[in-house]
Amino acid sequence: MTQTKAESNWINATIKEIRYVSQTMLGIKAVFEESPFPAFEPGQHFDIRLTSENGYQAQRSYSAASASSQNEYLEFGIDVLPDGEVSGYLATLKPDDKFEIRGPIGRHFIWNPGNAKETILIGGGSGVVPLFSMIREYSAARVQDKLTFINSFRTVRDIPWQDELENLAQENQNLDLYTTITRESRVSERYHSGRINREILNKALEKYNLETAAVYICGSNSFVEAVSQSLLDLGAAFHNIKTERYG
């Protein structure tokens, strides 16, 4: 195998805690014993690389989920896919096991406290992971700016870090949550049901000025496409919408 990349880009992460944070999402908290903590901004991602005993390597990108201002650990939210070469292996790891990372990567889909008076975060499924980093950072910074997190999951059991999220919203009246469930018909009244559409957005964002709000959308391509088109229809400004898509 050709190995041209500077090996110094990769650092060892040691697992401090590993557990499922939703039905399919693995939360991995990593610490760095041999190198400095890799400082990042909310929304950025890291590459994780695995190397087999015979030298085969696989890399995938995963967004950071933890707040960027705390450097006790770096948390990833990793959707464990049925045939996932990398995610499937990560799911077998235990505390003190190691894996390689490099990053942070990408300086577009990033948000920092103070960036906007009004921020709208919209995520579908595992697309909520980078948005969690933003929400955690927003909560830690205790700014007065408004933030709404609109999120969509197939079932209630797919919502990661659910208790923490509800606690954060309860503590902060400027943080609004709007969760919708798409594949379960009878859900508790804490949740809405159906896919995110114009009506839902209109209702959830009635207190927001869509022409000036900063918007971050992350999820599957079809999700991002549908949501961003609906927001444009409702008057959001094209260049205030940042997207991150997968698959």
Partner 1 sequence: MLINKGFKPKRRQSDTDRDRLPPGQYLTDDFPVLSLGPTPEVSKDKWKLRVWGLCEETSLSWENLMKLPASNITKDIHCVTKWSKYDTNWKGVWLDEIIRLANVDDTASFLIAHSADGYTTNIPIDDVTDKKALIAYEYDGEDIEAGHGGPVRLVVPHLYFWKSAKWLDGLEFVAEDQPGFWEERGYHNYGDPWLEQRYDTD
> Residue 84 Cβ, how far from partner 1 at the closest point, in Å?
8
Binding partner 1 by CB under 8 A: which of 88, 95, 114, 194? Answer: 88
Binding partner 1 by CB under 8 A: which of 22, 133, 152, 243? Answer: 243
185 near partner 1, judged by CB under 8 A: no
Task: State the number of binding residues for partner 1 (CB under 8 A).
Answer: 49
Residue 138 amino acid letter: Y
Of 57-65, 71-79, 138-146, 183-191: span binding partner 1 (CB under 8 A)? 57-65
Show Cβ contacts of residue 164 under 8 Å, excluding neighbours closer than 6 positions.
none
Binding partner 1 by CB under 8 A: which of 19, 33, 52, 173? Answer: 52
Lookup: tokens for 230: 């609906």
Binding partner 1 by CB under 8 A: which of 35, 51, 70, 155? Answer: 51
> Residue 52 Cβ, how far from partner 1 at the closest point, in Å?
5
SS3 label, residue 13: strand
Binding partner 1 by CB under 8 A: which of 31, 50, 116, 234? Answer: 50
41 near partner 1, judged by CB under 8 A: no
Show Cβ contacts of residue 32 under 8 Å, excluding neighbours closer than 6 positions.
11, 12, 13, 14, 38, 74
Contact yes or no for 14/29 (Cβ under 8 A): no
106 near partner 1, judged by CB under 8 A: yes
Contact yes or no for 120/148 (Cβ under 8 A): yes
Binding partner 1 by CB under 8 A: which of 35, 57, 197, 209? Answer: 57
**b/e map 106-144, b = 16+ CB within 10 Å:** beebbbbbeebebbbbbbbbbbbbbbbbbbbbbbeeebe
Binding partner 1 by CB under 8 A: which of 76, 99, 161, 223? Answer: 99
Where would I find the beta strands (DSSP E) of the chain? 11-20, 25-31, 45-51, 57-63, 74-79, 98-105, 118-124, 146-153, 175-181, 192-193, 214-220, 241-246
Binding partner 1 by CB under 8 A: which of 20, 58, 190, 211? Answer: 58
Q: Which residues bind partner 1 (CB under 8 A)?
A: 1-7, 9-10, 12, 49-53, 56-61, 83, 85, 88-89, 92, 98-100, 102, 105-109, 221, 225, 228-229, 231-232, 238-239, 241-243, 245-247
